[in-house]
Copies of this chain bind each other. A is one copy, B any other.
Amino acid sequence: MTIGFVPTMGALHDGHRALIREARLRCDTLVVSIFVNPTQFSPQEDLAKYPRPISQDRALCRKEGVDVCFEPTAEAMYPNGFQTVVTLPTVARRWEGEIRPHHFSGVATVVTKLFGIVLPQVALFGQKDFQQSALVQQLVKDLNLGVEIIVHPTVREADGLAMSSRNVYLSQEERKRAVTLYKSLRAGAEAIRRGVTDGEAIQSAMAQVIKGEPAMTIDYLEICDPTTLEPLSTVTRKTVLLGAVRLGPIRLIDNILVAAKHAGRNFE
């Protein structure tokens, strides 16, 4: 019997739905966890106001044929005396890890725990949180957790904005402007497809698009190795473009994977 697993923080949207549907095809028993994990939030972040529409979440799970909704309490996950921390110093060092210092150790620890409880053969994560999915893949390899990790492509709104539970924080005005991040990443990907290999040139093609949106400021726009997340000064192989911006009080992240099966001989 195959157990499939989709770990979530609830506030399920069509991105989660796509993960659940893909999982449903890959297993006999499908477990979805709904747990707003406190250890991956920093004190100044949005733990308290993070959306928790639990009835809607359960209805979506029921409709999609989920067998088990696992909804542990924080007290059950982190009882008195709990202390173990799982860290991945290399994958977590840059980008989101730099801006959110304890975020990824919170993620790595809770994912290890959830895998120990659910015992899945296969678990699905969204590509939207690219660094997280790279971290989980390295974690499973390093700790011999024996779970197949499937990273599902980002599901987008009609205009291209990556779906996220935090998009509900956007005002109508901000919502319209939010897609600029994706447009910026697309500009970078198109530059690579046109044959640009210089990291700085690709980076300025992306930055150019953001600069056309005065309400938006750049946290980072980077050209990286998809496994190590290290920045690449020259694009000669499969590459991920990672972006994070601020739009008023909101942070948005997104990414595009650029396969290197084109153009010049330098590409694998």
Contacts and interface: CB of A to CB of B under 8 A. Distances in A.
Interface of A: 81-91, 108-109, 112-113, 116-117, 119, 138-139, 142-146, 227-228
Given A112-B143, A143-B112, A144-B117, A228 B87 contact: no
B83 A91 contact: yes
A226 to B, nearest CB: 13
Contact of A86 (B86, B91, B227): B86
A142 to B, nearest CB: 4
Nearest to A87: B85
Copies in the complex: 2
Contacts of A84: 86-88, 108, 138-139, 142-143
B83 A113 contact: no
A228 B81 contact: yes
A105 to B, nearest CB: 9
A122 to B, nearest CB: 16
Contacts of A117: 144
A126 to B, nearest CB: 22
Contact of A116 (B82, B90, B138, B146): B146
A103 to B, nearest CB: 16
A259 to B, nearest CB: 21
A86 B83 contact: no
Contacts of A108: 84
A116 B112 CA distance: 11
B81 A89 contact: no
Which of A81, A113, A143, A228 has the most chain B CB atoms inside 10 A of its CB?
A143
A91 B83 CA distance: 8
Contacts of A113: 142-144
A144 B114 CA distance: 8
A101 to B, nearest CB: 15
A136 to B, nearest CB: 11
Nearest to A118: B144
Nearest to A78: B142
A116 B227 CA distance: 22
